[in-house]
Amino acid sequence: MLDIRLLREQPDLSKERLAQVGCEAAEVQAVLDVDKRRRELIASVESMRAERKQASKRIGAMKGAPEAEAAKAEVRALGEKMVAAEKNLSEVEDDFRARMLRLPNLPHPDVPPGPDESANIMLRSEDETRTFDFEPKPHLELG
């Protein structure tokens, strides 16, 4: 899996290199868009958690004051809002993970452009291709 930091820091290079192996720039941009949304949701959920923690401490300090019930209701409402945001974050993270898994690795700069290995060029061969006087079996059948 590619490192998301590479995509964030060098999106044009990533799009160019991945285009060599048939990955469209729109796919890379979609990953970056989902990543941006994911990071925004993480920040939002974390700020809600911090706010709830501070409000809980204030409620603990009130100890039976009439304002405590109103503050508790606010914390409950914040908790419900946080649960919805966490669910949304979970869905976005699943989408992000799936998109990242579909992206291929960056090819080496010497790799010729092409959709698959059929576009590769043989640079050298170490030995002759062996020929047999029988039909060779795949290793799975031999095992």
The pLDDT tens digits for 33-74 are: 999 999 999 999 999 999 999 988 888 887 777 777 888 888
Q: Which of 79, 100, 82, 110 is nearest to 33 (CA)?
A: 100
Alpha-carbon distances of 93 from 36, 70, 100, rounded to whole Å: 11, 34, 10
Angle between helices 25-62 and 67-102 (to 10 degrees): 160
State the fold for domain 7-106.
Answer: Helix Hairpins (1.10.287)
| pTM for the model | 0.74
pLDDT (tens digit, 9 = 90+) per residue, 72-104?
888 899 999 999 999 999 999 999 999 999 999
